[in-house]
A and B are shown apart, each in its own frame.
Chain A
Amino acid sequence: MDKKVILLVEDDPDDEALTLRALKTNNVRNKVVVAQDGVEALDYLLGTGKHADRDPEEMPVLVLLDLNLPKVDGLEVLRRLRAEERTSILPVVILTSSEEEQDLIKGYKLGANSYIRKPVNFIRFAEAIKQLGLYWLVLNEPPPLLGNKR
């Protein structure tokens, strides 16, 4: 279970701290890797840039993707991930404060597996994180690894 890494793409450190706390209080003990912008997230997942030395075999079990990101925004990250074969079926959950209809439509069209709007109320937010962890990390069977092994 520890090997199952969660990638949290979040630029706001306060949001990051709250999300990590919510995961912790809900007993999600997986390793959480944080990427603070879209470029870093792509580097991590595709093994490029500053994550070029990372073992690409080691795919996160879940990506929690914010949409409003510096450099490359969330939807663009999603589009590039789906374009790569290895990450094309990687479970990606959009976790955002946006409830714009257009964002929902684009997110799902680009292949998001789920779309969660962060509630302002922390109690509800924590509850959402709890459900999320339970579903994606326990109930859901992750997809097999795709692509050439180097």
Chain B
Amino acid sequence: MPAFRDTLPTDLFKRVAIICCVGVIGFAFLGLVSQYSGVLVLSSIRPNYIPMAASTAWCFLLLGAILLLETLGSLSAWARAGAKTVTVLVAVFGLLNSLEPIIDVGLSFEEKLFPTTQRFGEVFTNRISPLTAFIFFLAGINLLLILRRKDQTIIRHLEGFLGFLVTTCGFICTMGYLFGTPLLYGGAVIPVALSTAGAFLLLGVGLVAGAGPEALPLQLLVGPSTRAKLLRVFLPLTVGAILLQSLLHKYVTALFRNQALGAAMFALGFALITGGLVAVVGRALGRALERAEAALIQAHNELEQKVQERTAALITANNSLQKEIGERQRAEKEILELNQRLKERLREIMEKKVQLEAANKELESFSYAVSHDLRAPLRIIDGFSQALREDCSDKLDSQGQDYLMRILRNTQRMEELIDSLLVLSRLTRREMRREKVDLGEIAQKLTDNLRESDPQRQVEMVIAPGLEGEGDPSMLRVVLENLLDNAWKFTGKKAEARIEVGALPKKDGPRVFYVRDNGAGFDMAFKDKLFGAFQRLHGKDEFPGNGVGLATVQRIIHRHGGRVWAEGAVDQGAVVYFTLSPIG
């Protein structure tokens, strides 16, 4: 059923307006032809009806043509101005003629334009009805508003309203003819012709259509709303049904002789037809409503489903969020705990450091006191041994002399040991500096010293270039001094002695320096003993020394945070490696 369509073709109203205009123009031609040819029945339809007046026909022609051109959009600015003027003239003409019978001032110039002598009853046939004139006045104003093209809602509504008024007037007049009631088409004065009534009906519809669907009353009928849909169906249906019923009643009952039977038969028939129509429309409506309801339910269900889906997604998101929050809180707690533990560790370390410092200090004063206080009795032993040798040599035989010499030699050794211990303890106490040190340069100087002090030795010295390290220069000097002294000493019995100072190829971590010799070497089984104080791997008569040298080296390297270790084999030489910062 087309009435239930949600949308209407956009140019529907335009088309309706055009058709109506064409119809109006058609009626106008009919009126003109009937007036000028004298075949009045062309516009009067029936001989006992009044024909359309010539002025009426002209007015229809003008208004119909202007509305048509306007609807087609083919009016230029000048043409529009002309159209407005013509419309105003028609409206004024209508107003004057509608006022004529009331004030009777002879304002109408109709008689001059269309002289006539023919009469229809008591009135001239070619005179415009005051009612017609008034409707022209309304239609003229309406058309003028349309021509002004002011897009104001109130104006649009006014256009629609005036158009509706024109339609209604045309309708009433037409009804008057259909029901044979002249009062309705102005029987008291000059009556409105049937063709005029029809033309007004068309013109009114055209004006309403021209006002557009946004204007009242069309606004009520257009659009997808249920109200508009129902109105679209029931308004024409009821109006049509009632009109049809009254018309049919008038004509059908006349066919029956028995008027009561006729009325009954008519009522029955009409009830059947109306009932059938209502049933059909009701079914269609019901279906439409059911469809709408089903669609609504489906939409509702879909919406519900979507809401559920969204809710589920939200819950999932919320859960994962909760989980994440939990994890974060746990991580935070862990961090706090770690922090706490770290603080405790730090406190412990600080305590340890304090303890260590105290212990170190104690050790320092101890080793100082020991070396200091050891020296005093040693001096006494040496002194009196010397006194014995000088003062009592005549009383000592050669054996006694030898014993005395041994005592003196050992006091001297003891002194050296004490001195070494003092150096070692001082190394621990001294402030340490850290700066760039050229180990190669120090090694070169030390080598020169060694060569000077022992010119008979032939030793091949190889010092790699670019041996730069970072540390305390004087301490590193002591390190190299001890290592080179050792290397020099332990290569003493080699015919082709070779000492090498260098660094391993660069890798990750700190640089590894080394001092390598091809001397007496050592058994790797004793490598742990190498760096202990007073530890010796060789006999005194083999290689002299007090066993403090490598201990001193280790102490210095450890103070730098580095590591020192040695590799070697008996009679194959030895390598001492060291770094100046921690490994790994």
- A sample of 21 inter-chain contacts (CB < 8 A) reads A12-B376, A14-B380, A15-B376, A15-B379, A15-B380, A18-B379, A18-B380, A21-B387, A25-B390, A97-B375, A97-B379, A118-B379, A119-B379, A120-B378, A120-B379, A120-B412, A120-B415, A121-B411, A121-B415, A122-B382, A125-B379
From known contacts A121-B412, A122-B386, infer whether A97 and B380 are also in contact, taking CB-CB under 8 Å.
no
Does B4 count as interface, using CB distance less than 8 angstroms? no
Question: How many angstroms between the C-alpha atoms of A141 and B253 in the bound complex?
Answer: 177
What residues of chain A lie closer than 8 Å to B384, measured between beta carbons?
Answer: 14, 18
- The 8 Å CB contact of B383, one of A18, A98, A100, is A18
Total cross-chain contacts (CB, 8 A): 47
Chain B residues closer than 8 Å to A126, beta-carbon distance: 386
Is B368 on the interface with A (CB-CB < 8 A)?
yes
Residues of A within 8 A of B415 (CB): 120-121
Contact B383 A125 (CB under 8 A): yes
The distance from the CB of A65 to the nearest CB of chain B, in whole angstroms, is: 16
Whether B382 lies near A121 (C-beta < 8 A) is: yes
Q: Which residues of the other chain, A, contact B372 by a CB distance below 8 angstroms?
A: 97-98, 100
- B-side interface residues, number (CB < 8 Å): 18
Identify which of B376, B385, B411 contacts A97 (C-beta below 8 A): B376
Give bound CA distance, A12 to B415, whole Å.
19
CB-CB under 8 A from B380, the residues of chain A are: 12, 14-15, 18
| B368 contacts A100, C-beta separation under 8 Å | yes
Residue in B closest to A13 when the chains form the complex, CB atoms: B380
Residues of chain B within 8 A of A97, CB atoms compared? 372, 375-376, 379
Extra 12 A-B pairs, beta carbons < 8 Å, given A15-B376, A125-B383: A12-B376, A14-B383, A14-B384, A18-B383, A97-B372, A97-B379, A100-B372, A120-B412, A122-B379, A122-B382, A122-B386, A126-B386
A147 to chain B, nearest CB (A): 36
Give the residues from 94 to 130 in chain A that come closer than 8 angstroms, CB to CB, to chain B: 97-100, 118-123, 125-126
Q: Which of B388-435 contact A (CB under 8 A)?
A: 390, 411-412, 415, 422
Q: Please, which residues of chain B bring their CB within 8 A of the CB of A118? A: 379
* Interface residues, chain A, with chain B CB atoms under 8 Å away: 12, 14-15, 18, 21, 25, 97-100, 118-123, 125-126
Asked whether B375 lies within 8 Å of A120 as measured between CB atoms, the reply is yes
Residues of B contacting A100 in the complex (Cβ-Cβ under 8 angstroms): 368, 372
Name the A residues within 8 Å of B412 (CB-CB). Answer: 120-121
* Complex contact A18–B376 (CB within 8 A): no
Complexed CA–CA distance, A36 and B385 (Å): 24
User: Judging by beta carbons under 8 Å apart, are A122 and B376 in contact?
Assistant: no
Q: Are A122 and B375 in contact (CB under 8 A)?
A: no
Distance A114 CA – B375 CA, assembled complex (angstroms) = 21
Complex contact A120–B386 (CB within 8 A): no
Identify the closest chain A residue to B391 (Cβ).
A21
Neighbour of B386 across the interface among A12, A14, A98, A123, CB < 8 A? A123
B368→A122 contact, CB < 8 A: no
In the assembled complex, the Cα of A12 lies from the Cα of B376 at a distance in Å of: 9
List 6 A-B pairs, minimum CB-CB distance, nearest first.
A122-B386, A122-B383, A18-B383, A120-B415, A14-B380, A120-B379
How close is A66's CB to chain B, nearest CB, in angstroms? Answer: 10
B73 → chain A closest CB, angstroms: 117
Q: Give bound CA distance, A114 to B343, whole Å.
A: 54
In the complex, the answer to whether A120 meets B382 with C-beta atoms within 8 Å is: yes
Q: Which residues of chain B are near A120, meaning CB under 8 Å?
A: 375, 378-379, 382, 411-412, 415
**Please, how many angstroms separate the alpha-carbon atoms of A100 and B415 in the complex?**
16
CB neighbours (8 Å) of B411 from chain A are 120-121
Closest chain-B Cβ to A70's Cβ sits at a distance in Å of: 14
Q: Give chain A nearest CB distance to B366 CB in angstroms.
A: 14
CB distance from B165 to the nearest CB of A (A): 128
Residue of A nearest to B379 (CB): A120
Q: In the bound complex, what is the Cα–Cα distance between A119 and B385 (angstroms)? A: 15
Per the 8 Å Cβ criterion, residues 425-482 of B in contact with A are: none
Q: How far is the CA of A119 from the CA of B380 in the complex (A)?
A: 11
A87 to chain B, nearest CB (A): 27
User: Which residues on A sit within 8 Å (CB–CB) of B368?
Assistant: 100
